[in-house]
Amino acid sequence: MHFYKSTFTLCVLLVSITLPAVTQQNQEPNKPIVRIGMPPPQNLSDMKDHSIDLWIKSRQNTLPPYRYINEAAEFRAYLFTCKRHDLNLQMGTVAKLVNKYIQAVIPAQYDEPELKLVLGLSKEEQQAFFGDMADEIYAFEFGMHVALQNIKIKESAKTNKSFCATIQNEYFQTYVALLATAKRETSQ
C-alpha cells in the first residue's frame, strides 16, 4: 500500500512540475502535443494496449465508478474462490453497471490523439471497441482479485472452506450494496 502512495505522490509531483511546460507548449499552434511517457496510439490494437495502460495507472482511483468496478470484481473473485455460499445472486444487473462504468471511464482518460482515433470510428465500431475494452478490463480486475483472494487464504493459514466461512457475511453485505447501487443506477 505504501508503494502505491509513494508512486501516486511521485506522479502528482511530476505532473505539477511538467504541466506548466506542457500547457505552454500546447498553446503554441505549430508545436506537437507532448505526451508524458506514452506514445500516441496509431491503430486500434495500440489503442487497446494504451487503454489498458491507462486503466492500470488509474485503477486505484477513489471515485465512485472505479470503486464500484473494483468492488464488483472483488465480489466476483469471492464467488470464484468460495463456491459454496447461500446467496441468491442477480449478477446480471451488477455486470451491466460495471460495463457502463468502464465504458464511461476509459474514454474520459483519453487525450486528443486517442479521441481522434476513436471519433474516426462509426457508432457501432465505437460501441464494439468500448464493449471489448470493458470486457478486457473487467477480466483483468477479476484475475487480480482472485490472486489477492488466494493470497489472503494462504496467509490466513486456514482451509479454503474455513476462510470462506469467516468472510461470508462481509461479502453478503458487499453484494447487497452492489445490487442496490446497480438497480438504482440502471433504472435512471
Q: Give the model confidence (pLDDT) of 91-143 as tens digits.
A: 899 999 999 999 999 988 888 888 888 888 899 999 999 999 999 999 999 99
Which residue's entry shows cell 478490463?
Answer: 137
**Cα torsion angle, 105, 110, 21, 14, sign:** positive
DSSP-derived 3-state class of residue 139? helix
Specify the pLDDT at position 86.
65
Amino acid found at 56: I
Position 63 scores a pLDDT of 92
Residue 65 has a pLDDT of: 94
Q: What is the mean pLDDT of residues 144-159?
A: 94
**Half-sphere exposure (Cβ direction) of 45: Cα atoms closer than 13 Å:** 0
Average pLDDT on 78-97 reads 84
Distance CA 47, CA 72 (A): 25
- pLDDT by residue (tens digit) across 2-50? 443 433 333 333 333 333 343 343 344 444 334 556 677 888 888 888 8
CA–CA separation, 102 and 58 (whole Å): 12
Distances (CA, A) of 45 to 20, 49, 57, 118, 133: 31, 7, 19, 12, 11
* Distance separating alpha carbons of residues 158 and 131, to the nearest angstrom: 39
- Report which of 173, 92, 105 is spatially closest to residue 134, judged by C-alpha positions: 105
Asked whether the beta carbons of 92 and 182 are under 8 A apart, the reply is: no
Q: What is the pTM of this model?
A: 0.74
